Amino acid sequence: MIAYVTVGADDLSHAKRFYSAFLPVLGYGLKEGPEGLSYALPVEPGQSPVLPDFYVKPTFDGRPASAGNGAMVAFEARNQKQVRELHAAALVAGGSDEGQPGFREAYGPHFYVGYLRDPQGNKVALFSSDPNEPGRKD
């Protein structure tokens, strides 16, 4: 199981604006500190943590943060409408479009996804794959 995912950011205020446009809607809470932004799903008393956590931090070596070629973080939305809404909110919050929400020929008939880049250039996917919603027409 993946415990956490970390992306680097040179400007935490821009990163916070971008990620806070959709992660709280997906249930993530935010804790801020000198080490950066920590987004986590809520944990009830006595419950094990719901993983993975998502961290946005300055680089440890002090060099500029950079996006990994081929690296991407995907967040699951409740439905196709929420994918569209969160994709649009993330664009307004400083992200850039990397692929409008919709179906992709290469994926299953119910995999509905939109792609973004955060202000640092990290690639993010927002997706839904609910079999009870309309699927791709083959």
Q: Tens digits of per-residue pLDDT, 84-126?
A: 999 999 999 999 999 999 999 999 999 999 999 999 999 999 9
- The residue that leads in pLDDT, 34 or 73, is 73
Collapsing DSSP to helix, strand or coil, 123 comes out as strand
In a domain, 134, yes or no: no
Full residue range of the structural domain in which residue 13 is found: 4-128
The mean predicted confidence, pLDDT, of the chain is 95
In a domain, 17, yes or no: yes
Backbone angles phi, psi at 4, to 5 degrees: -160, 160
Name the DSSP letter for residue 133. Answer: S
Q: What is the mean pLDDT of residues 3-32?
A: 97
Q: What is the DSSP string of 51-97?
A: S-EEEEE--SSSSPP---TT-EEEEE-SSHHHHHHHHHHHHHTT-EE
- Put residue 62 in one of left, alpha, beta given phi > 0 → left and psi -120 to 50 → alpha: left
In a domain, 133, yes or no: no
In a domain, 136, yes or no: no
In a domain, 26, yes or no: yes
CATH code, domain with 108: 3.10.180.10
Bridge partners for 102 per DSSP: 113
In a domain, 138, yes or no: no
Name the DSSP letter for residue 19. Answer: H
Residue 56 · residue 9 · CB < 8 Å: yes
Q: pLDDT digits over 21-46, tens only?
A: 999 999 999 999 989 999 999 999 99
**What's the pLDDT score for residue 34?**
87
Name the DSSP letter for residue 107. Answer: S
Q: Which residues of 55-83 are buried (b: 16+ CB within 10 A; e: fewer)?
A: bbbbeeeeeebeeeeeeeeebebeebebb
Cα–Cα nearest to 126, from 97, 93, 92: 97
In a domain, 35, yes or no: yes
Give the number of domains in the chain. 1
